[in-house]
Chain A
Amino acid sequence: MKKYWRCHVCSDVHYGVNPPELCPTCKVLNAFVEISSAEAEKICGIAETTMDEVEFCDAIERFTVGNKFQINPDKNRVKTLLEGIFQNEKNYGMKYCPCRLTTKKFEEDLKLVCPCNFRIHDTYKDKEDGECWCGLFIRR
């Protein structure tokens, strides 16, 4: 089961089965201590950040750096997908994939939040011209 962890040096919060060995922010080793979800929520609530369509595009662009995939150069396709992703966020609270439907089980549906783990999709895996199911990400 995933739990919450806090870096005792810089208060980075991590949600996962195990804590990171090395704190990604302060680089201290073995710095994480388990905390309650209530504490984690308070810490994560400190900073309010936004993510509009432009910011999301920047974020996924940066996400592709160093990876073997890129954003589809087909601008129209990307525009349609972004519309769907943001409509879904507005209506259902998360950036759900516009090409698949949620099950209404929140944890299970995390697999449908964009970008999803499309590396395992049959449309991507072991395919030279692989792409995520919707074609937002394609192989370089």
Chain B
Amino acid sequence: MLIAKNLNKTVAIGEDQLCILHDVSFELKKGRSLAILGESGSGKTTLLGLLAGLDLPSSGEVLLDDVALFELNEEDRAKSRKDNLGFIFQSFQLINGLSALENVMMPLELRGDRKARQKAKEMLQKVGLGERLTHHANQLSGGEQQRVAVARAFVTEPNLLLADEPTGNLDTATGKKIIDLMFQLNAELNTTLVLVTHDNHLAARCDESMTLSGGKIIQQKQHQQPIKESSL
């Protein structure tokens, strides 16, 4: 269960205070998926950063499985990320110079998982890169890189997966494949999914969607029957 309560974020630009997130509240039940829509600059990334506890709000709270993130200190927030979170970014963010396998192993190793190699291999096979284990990030195409990132995000079986425009840097077809993969894993592992996008088709595949504009929620929708399959 993910709850956002009255999140506000103000930043100082020179002398001026700029409100980039205004009173954002919502609830998302375990295993469900939420799409955050909005124009560029509407505050989506800011919101995602707060949900992850990467950034601090000016006011408000985020509750992840009843734990108030911002009451924790920096160290405990980090620990909560380690235990609960997975990330997929627009700019893939693979660790350069490490192989696909090593990239996927990294979060497992950080948890001290003894079966890191085994699990990482399995996950890479699942995303269809079983043959590319030893390839380095820069030897993979964009789509492949993002698949490694997806494998890396899911391999720890996170409670909550956050994705910031995961297909933003990919062509449509490849993007669709990545999204399919994400939904498939989301269903298999019962992960709660928060997805930032400005693609309405993609949003339609989520259980819920929410639109931001100027840092405010202007629309919240429950999708009765999310589209299950990619139209492609």
Q: Do A and B assemble together?
A: no
B contact set with A: CB distance below 8 Å: none
Name A residues whose Cβ lies closer than 8 Å to a Cβ of B.
none
